[in-house]
Amino acid sequence: MEYATLGKTGLRVSVMGLGCGGHSRLGMSQGKSDTEASLIVREALDMGINFIDTAESYGTESAVGLGLQGVVRDRVVISTKAGVGWQDRRCTADEFKQRVDSCLQRLQTDYVDVFHVHGVRIEEYEYACEELVPALMDLRTAGKIRFVGITEAFGPDPTHKMLVRAVQDDCWDVMMVGLNILNQSARERVLAVTQKKQIGTLCMFAVRRALSRPDALRELIAQMVTDGLIKDVDPDDPLGFLVADGVADSVQDAAYRFCRWEPGIDLVLSGTGNVDHLKANAESLARPALPPEIVERLKSMFAGVDSVSGN
């Protein structure tokens, strides 16, 4: 496992982070118990993955806490999150502090390394800054969190409206951004600034439904062609060139490597409830960058796309 520095935080993190949300949620979305899910956490640690990302809304914090029992605390970087919304309204600062305390209890730890305001939309951003960031600063002073982060809602906001606004401010140590082969718009809109400001940057959505299911990819590509977003593609095998001549083992392998070597990305999140899948993803993220001509082809092919997430 390779490691990188997470922006100005100085934290040394594995270039692959274990994502505990998504469709799998450590297998809990398929009925696994906390104990069964915690084994994925332990396996990730044994592989050298030291960045674990969870959230209040995922329902996996308790499984993560269980998986980290007996682990020396400074061996692992814990990231968790809570959103602006709370009980059909916006959360107050005091309520947000209470929610952070509940996260710590479920994780069975005294502090988390990164606490994010989760899935913030552009219309919520000013409230998050004015009401919730001061609460996080208080918690940092109290030693309950080390660094303050923010994550976007990439599905409904594939153009990154919120993060384009957020990178203008100096209160964020870490950001989580959606980026993949199909939608590379974060490169100029977000990553160009996070690199200059040394904001630690986590990549989500490197592989989601469209890049893991051939039928879904064909359907999405066909719609993009119809919409005039892309052209000159094989409708039956639109990304087949990625596996030709041994360039990559699979579309998923290429997708992870594309994001892993994108300038400005510190680590790529990967979620699963299956140990073999976890190992396969780690192998992809340990491989070299895709050939420059392939990267340039992908950049050119999807240069006009900012309307999809790939989910």
Catalytic residue among 3, 58, 111, 256: 58
Q: For residue 163, give both structure tokens.
A: 């993060």
- Is the dihedral angle over the CA atoms 113, 102, 128, 184 positive or is it negative? positive
pLDDT tens, position by position, 240-292: 999 998 899 999 999 999 999 999 999 999 999 999 999 999 999 999 999 99
Residue 305's pLDDT is what?
96
C-alpha 180 chain-centroid distance: 11
Average of per-residue pLDDT values in the chain: 96
- The whole-model pTM stands at 0.96
Residue 232 is predicted with a pLDDT of 85
Residue 305 located in a structural domain:
no
Over residues 135-158, mean pLDDT: 98
CATH number of the domain that residue 30 is part of = 3.20.20.100
96-123 pLDDT, tens per residue? Answer: 999 999 999 999 999 999 999 999 999 9
pLDDT on residue 245: 84
How many residues make up the chain in this entry?
A: 311
* Model confidence band, residue 302 (pLDDT cutoffs 50, 70, 90): very high
Going from the C-alpha of 54 to that of each of 118, 143, 165, 231, the distances in angstroms are 11, 19, 24, 38
Flag whether 214 is in a domain: no
- Residue 29: pLDDT over 90: yes
Q: Are strands 267-270 and 200-204 parallel, antiparallel or unpaired?
A: parallel
Distance of CA 133 to the CA centre of its chain: 21
How far does Cα 42 stand from its chain's mean position? 20
Domains contained in the chain, number: 1
Say if strands 89-90 and 85-86 run parallel, antiparallel, or are unpaired.
Answer: antiparallel
Residue 297 domain-assigned? no
- The percent of residues above 90 in pLDDT, for the chain, comes to 95
Active site residue 58: yes
Q: Token pair of 93, please?
A: 């600062």
- Per the domain annotation, does 17 fall within a domain? yes
Q: For residue range 214-239, what is the model confidence (pLDDT) as tens digits?
A: 999 999 999 999 999 998 899 889 99
What integer pLDDT is reported at residue 235 of this predicted model?
86
- Tell me, yes or no, whether 233 lies in a domain: no
Helices (H), ranges, 161-244: 161-166, 186, 192-197, 209-212, 214-226
Distance of alpha carbon 270 from alpha carbon 16, whole angstroms:
7
Domain contains 265: yes
Task: Give 100's contacts (C-beta < 8 A, 6+ positions apart).
Answer: 82, 115, 135, 136, 139, 144, 145
Q: In this predicted model, what pLDDT tens digit does every residue of 39-86 receive, in sequence order?
A: 999 999 999 999 999 999 999 999 999 999 999 999 999 999 999 999
Does residue 222 belong to any structural domain of this protein? no
The domain in which residue 31 lies consists of: 3-209+255-291
| Mean pLDDT within 21-33 | 93
pLDDT digits (tens, 9 = 90+) for 184-202: 999 999 999 999 999 999 9
Q: How far apart are CA 220 and CA 145, in angstroms?
A: 40
Domain membership of residue 30 (yes or no) is yes
